[in-house]
Chain A
Amino acid sequence: MFRAKVIIKRRPSILDPQGKAVEKGALHLGLTNIRNTRIGKYIEFDVLSENREEAEKEVNEYCNKLLANPIMEDYEFTLEEVK
């Protein structure tokens, strides 16, 4: 079995109004050095497979078809074997 940890980020060309709004909060906190706040998603799950290659294939399909929308998001992931 593998533990997958996926990070989904908005593509750099896509505006992130949420990140901008949150960054305003940072200013109000007095944190004046914060820039370029971008908000993404972190998703983790198990893949019931003994074969790393097969697990990777499945994670890619999950990400491409459902977890991320390739028009506006990029994803990256790690796979850790769980004994």
Chain B
Amino acid sequence: MNERSQLAEASSGPTRRGAAATAPSPGTPRTAGPPRKSRSQQWAAWGFLAPVVLYLAAFYAYPLYRNVDLSLRNYTVRSFVQGDAPFTGLQNYSTVVHDPTFWPALLHTVIFTAVSLLFQYSIGLALAVFFTRHFPLSGTLRALFLVPWLLPLIVSASTWSWMLNSDSGVVNAALHAVGIGQVDWLTSPTWTLVSVTVANIWIGVPFNLVVLYSGLQSIPDTLYEAAALDGANAWQRFRHITFPLLRPVSAITLLLGLVYTLKVFDIIWIMTKGGPSDSSTTFATWSYKLGFGNLLPQFGPGAAVGNLLVLIALAFGLVYIRAQKKQAGS
């Protein structure tokens, strides 16, 4: 899949350059010497590049720069308005790291992300393998599995919080029917992180299912036929054909899943507001809480937490790229 996209890029390169060269030619006389032509070519190239560069600068580089700047200054509401916040270096980061919320929030972020990824991926993979056998109504069933993905997060998160309500939720009613007492899913510090993680897994499974399913389609059937002739059973076929050949797709699925999960905010905020007593606070909700959850916004520390999240995602992105290079090299 990756090789193919690289090929596509490589082939589109020359044609694009060709377009840039031919575009100005009707206006310029044919007598123009080679140096002039290359300069106009250069200008044209820049002209074609400019929209993308401007777009990236305005919508990616500048906000990122502002966020870093915000995290390095001591902003109060007054200095936010006046724009004269003093530069304080890493003071905000130090405040954040020494905050009693920091280690619990980090731990929750790690647990939430790791457990979500593990279950989303394994359930998604199991379902994807399941759906490769075409059986009656498999299409319909697969479409139904996509529902969590299609629902607006506010709807699914609110539904989960109703279902998990201590007194009137359907989950506790079901548990009660089999003789288990009331579990305070959203109000007991021991359960909140579990509840939001379960909800997040449910929401993330369809994404894994779709990507892994499409990855499975690209594994040639002949391999399975050959393995079957060699007497490989279903598990051996999965273990030695499906799983290794799916590795590139798995890697990108997990990386995307990681980025999505790290920044999950809506589900947690709607279900528990990160509480009670910060028991389900992750970096994403903490950052929001610092910046906007209070009557008196603390932009500096809020931005600092946000940047830490970006750094974590970046680190894993680099790990991914490295692993990919290693794979390509071998």
A-B complex is real: no
The chain B residues found within 8 Å of chain A, CB to CB, are none
